[in-house]
Chain A
Amino acid sequence: MAEFLDYFRKERLPHIWCPGCGHGTVTGALIRAIDKLGLDKNKIVMVSGIGCSSRAVGYLDFDTLHTTHGRAIAFATGVKHAKPSLKVIVMTGDGDCTAIGGNHFIHAARRNIDITTIIMNNSTYGMTSGQYSPTTPHGMLGTTAPYGNVEHEFDVCELAKASGASYVARATSFHVTLLTDLIEKALMNKGFSVVEALTQCPTYFGRKNKIGGPVELLNWIKDRTVNVKAAAALPPEKLAGKLLIGELYKAERPEYCATYAETTARVQRTYNDYKGGNRGCELNSD
């Protein structure tokens, strides 16, 4: 592996994350996966929204786009559709992606556009100090759920799968090797890929719910999960309330940009004498 810090804008460090936060671990896993695949740094665009997790891109040495709350995937769709040769990666959180950005998430999945989305799910709005999110388990506490969360949580991976994503996986900031491996596979999939990374927010989620410090919270996350391979051999009562980790879904589906390119080629055969447009556009190559 190349020097780990070579992928970072060293002058922008140290990062803003709290001690014990899991987002750095997930960012590290992503960098390791990129390094392992030997992807060209100059052809990667990292897009994020708003929230703790979305700050990750600012520290990374790629073309990086830190957008508005919830819209990372929509911005990323524009980048990818405009220039399909770029590798587009979205780094987002549970609130950014599944609350305010939920609509873009499901529609990008439906299009199966070739974007890899890493969702850092810490079950809370950390940046605004611990409100409940669409992935806060029912009954747990948040600063806006002082009597226990009345709502029920999304299963983000089921949502991605049902919406049409062609690669869906889940790991945690405890299972780092698995997480790196799954991100690597997601990056290789040509289509909309989702890796949900369960991470710890000891500052707000852990403290509010009296789970303990980072280590206790990591253990709490670990105990909520079962590897999908192990789960096959377990009776249903052992799986109650557990989240599966591992590669959860993979499908061969036509990718949006590829289909658009095919359509364009067909249109251009029909209108091969077309004289309009495309003037002064040396960047119109793909």
Chain B
Amino acid sequence: MPKNAKLMQGNEACTMGAIAAGLQFFAGYPITPSTEIAEMCSEELPKFGGKFIQMEDEIGSIAACIGASLTGKKAMTATSGPGFSLMQESIGYASLCEIPVVIVNVQRMGPSTGMPTSPAQGDIMQARWGTHGDHQVIALAPGNVKECFELTFKAFVYAEAYRVPVIVLADEVISHMREKVVLPDPSSYKIPMRAMPTSPAGYKPYGADPDGGVPLMAPFGQGYRWHCTGLFHDESGAPSGKAAVADQLLHRLDRKIEKNVQALEDYYVESMDDCDVAVVSFGSSAMAALSAVRRARKGGLKAGMLRLKTIWPFPDQAIRRLCASAKKIIVPEMNLGQLVLEVERAIHGKAEVIKLGKVTGELFHPDEIYKALKEAF
């Protein structure tokens, strides 16, 4: 067995991915099924001088993370549906103020308290549109324990590179499941580093190429003395009510992600090249889907599997390209139809898109997806 192989829980892998990426600050509030991340951070971070704090609620948690990030530290919080809802206002703040922060949302059944210990995938749209106003987000959905490590690491890479809040959209099963994981050699990690200015002279905190440029971020306490505000602001950081300033700012923030959709896309494909029926899924639903697709292939049916790891920004072009041969596309997800809307939009009538929602709080059984495949052929 390789030296770095370990039996590991999804939440544990997520924490280790964050630490590998240079996590220095964690603020959180207990909530099932994400709590193990907070517990592990409270234990691990002090060992290397990192900071943990259990805040009074999730609003405080995201706020503290943003504050910490402004001092130059890599910060993360972890939560589930109800807490994720509470964080939305400050996610918008981080988005507008361009403050890197990673938010792990281990999805559970909702709305409301719902079924706290049951898996769900109902936060697809909340992750995209939870905060008010036009904005872009990055959301990554791990499909197994190893990806909890990899995608949390990647979340920091994106957060630092694009100065955006990045959401790791896991679910109860992915995060509580244990699998053997072989972690990469730590010396191979390319630690994400924030682009910083070199001198306070002439520093413009929001000076960047209007076509999606990312401004350099000065850490607080280093003599830059800049103003960070959730009001629309000009390049100098000064609040502005001018139409042109608002227009330019929102367009730059939008382009920042929009022009990098292809760089951000990430997926797992199997047997898609010649498929007649494709299954597009993510997270724990995709585990059952993959099993069903393989069974269908064994039975001579041309089924294909596309599992999205990057959910937002939605990879329209990749979906169209990879599903080119498919006449039908089945979208299994543990909600009443959220991702399917995006697939439909991207496919734009080129194939029949079939919704396969499940809201029982139980995982898909491969038989259910296999049955849908059989019906589709």
Contacts and interface: CB of A to CB of B under 8 A. Distances in A.
Contacts of A107: 55-56, 60
B225 A284 contact: no
B19 interface: yes
Chain A to chain B: the 7 pairs with minimum beta-carbon distance, closest first: A78-B67, A78-B64, A280-B191, A82-B68, A74-B63, A277-B48, A278-B48
B19 A276 contact: yes
Interface string B216-236: 000111111111111100000
Contact of B229 (A66, A71, A267, A278): A66
A175 interface: no
Interface in A87-124: 103-104, 107
Given A11-B238, A68-B93, A77-B55, 20 more contacts: A42-B222, A45-B220, A64-B227, A67-B66, A67-B93, A68-B90, A68-B230, A71-B90, A74-B64, A78-B53, A82-B68, A83-B71, A83-B221, A107-B60, A260-B51, A268-B47, A276-B20, A278-B24, A279-B191, A283-B219
A228 interface: no
B23 interface: yes
Contacts, number: 179
Given A78-B65, A86-B221, A284 B193 contact: no
Nearest to B226: A63
A68 to B, nearest CB: 5
Contacts of B46: 260, 263-264, 267-268
A103 B67 CA distance: 17
Contact-residue size bin, chain A (C-beta under 8 Å from the other chain):
35 or more
A61 B236 CA distance: 13
B60 A74 contact: yes
B57 interface: yes
B60 A283 contact: no
A142 B80 CA distance: 39
B191 A271 contact: no
Contacts of B72: 83, 283
B67 A86 contact: no
Given A9-B227, A81-B68, A63 B22 contact: no
Interface of B: 16, 19-20, 22-25, 27, 44-51, 53, 55-57, 59-61, 63-75, 89-90, 93, 186, 189, 191, 193, 219-231, 238-239
B231 A45 contact: no
A254 to B, nearest CB: 16
Interface in A133-165: none
A74 B227 contact: no
A9 B227 CA distance: 10
Nearest to B231: A66
Contact of A78 (B45, B63, B223, B225): B63
B60 A47 contact: no
Contacts of A280: 22, 191, 193
A278 to B, nearest CB: 4
Contacts of B230: 66-68
